[in-house]
Amino acid sequence: MSSMSAPTSPFSLAPGTKARGWLPVSHRPGGGEVAIPWMAIRGAADGPVLAVNGSVHGDEYEGGEAIRELWAELDPASLRGTWIGVPAVNVAAYEMASRVSPLDGLNLNRVFPGDATPTLSGMVARRYFHEIVARSAAVLDLHSGGNPLSMLPLVAYSEVSPASLALAEQTGLDVLWRMPPAWSGSLCVAASAAGVPTVTPEIGNDGRLDATATALMRDVVVNVMRGLGLLEAREGTASPRRRRVVRGSYIPAPVGGLFQPAVRLGDEVKRGQHVATIRDVFGDVVERVAAPVDGLVCSYRTIPPVMPGDQTVLVGEVVEER
């Protein structure tokens, strides 16, 4: 019978139990607590620790929903090892449907492991990184497009870690994005550099709680659980027919205006091809955004108003087929 008590740590559960709790971080100026929620299951048999988190960006919800559903459904008796789900790492941003924290204006996924950031976002990053991530065998950092972006389902990994590439392959997704090294403050890059295989599945769009995206996110988590041995492997599981590794980053908007994509997610485009238009308030075209490489349209902006430097379109250059 599963326990519903709340131990002080997800690592303190008895074998064959599940529980929920909070990791305290600090307090707001008015006295309200800043804390990180966790939902853990310890299997009846020993095995690895898998951490799965959502809402590092507060406007991305499918990952947290997949975590809640799986925690409710998974039977500790069938689990080997420990499964830790964190449905919302960045609770303050989650409450505001915001990509950045309203407490200090920072993007949490640019400050990991948090040791160089003295504000509340840094404190949240440090607490999660050192208390859970560093003690795990692998981490799934679940993301989606959030309010500003539409994404082709893909999984990002850090090229500094061959083990993270192997973990990305276990997700079952057919587009693997080699994350730009410049994103050193992301959880994926920071954890991989610290020796913890970590990947970032990107599934879901437009800041919604989409049932189809949530179901695919669940499949990704279960695939990895089977790959790591937390769940019994299923015979005959089909791998993607065509798995592509892409690299690249978003094209920054050179001017402000009204953004409109001219391509669809998954389109294959050529270098120099028109992929988006930016128009002024009168409707005149002020910029035609072109693909910087031959590649795959992996993501584009959803919100029409765009400022100089904002993300527009991500064309992933296919560097490998696996």
Residues 85 and 213 in one domain: yes
Q: Check if the beta carbon of residue 239 is closer than 8 Å to that of residue 288.
A: no
pLDDT digits (tens, 9 = 90+) for 253-304: 999 999 999 999 999 999 999 999 999 999 999 999 999 999 999 999 999 9
**Residue 69 pLDDT more than 60?**
yes
8 A C-beta contact, residue 141 and residue 199: yes
Report yes or no on 186 lying in a domain: yes
Domain, as residue range, for 100 = 17-228
- Domain CATH for 253: 2.40.50.100
Q: In this structure, are 42 and 158 located in the same domain?
A: yes
Say if residue 157 is in the same domain as residue 223: yes
Is the per-residue pLDDT at 237 higher than 80?
no
Q: Verify that 278 and 154 share a domain, yes or no.
A: no
Please count the structural domains in the chain: 2
Instruction: Determine phi and psi for 212, rounding to 5 degrees.
Output: -65, -45
Q: Per the omega criterion (within 30 degrees of 0), is the bond before 113 cis?
A: yes
Whether 217 is covered by a domain: the verdict is yes
Cβ–Cβ under 8 Å, residues 26 and 111 = no
Q: Return the pLDDT at 28.
A: 86
Quote the pTM value. Answer: 0.94
Whether residues 29 and 152 share a domain: the answer is: yes
- Dump the DSSP string for 54-71: --SSTT--HHHHHHHHHH
Q: Which of the residue ranges 3-12, 83-92, 100-109, 219-228 would you say has the lowest mean pLDDT? A: 3-12
158: left (phi over 0), alpha (psi -120 to 50) or beta: beta
Range from 22-36, 85-99, 100-114, 132-146 carrying the lowest mean pLDDT: 22-36
Angle (CA) 171-173-178 rounded to 5° is: 90
- Asked if residue 134 is part of any domain, the answer here is yes
Same-domain pairing of 260 and 205 = no
Q: Are residues 157 and 269 in the same domain?
A: no
CA 56/CA 187 separation, integer angstroms: 9
Q: Clarify whether residues 181 and 278 are in a common domain.
A: no
pLDDT digits (tens, 9 = 90+) for 151-188: 999 999 998 889 999 999 999 999 999 987 778 899 99
Residues facing 23 on adjacent strands? 36
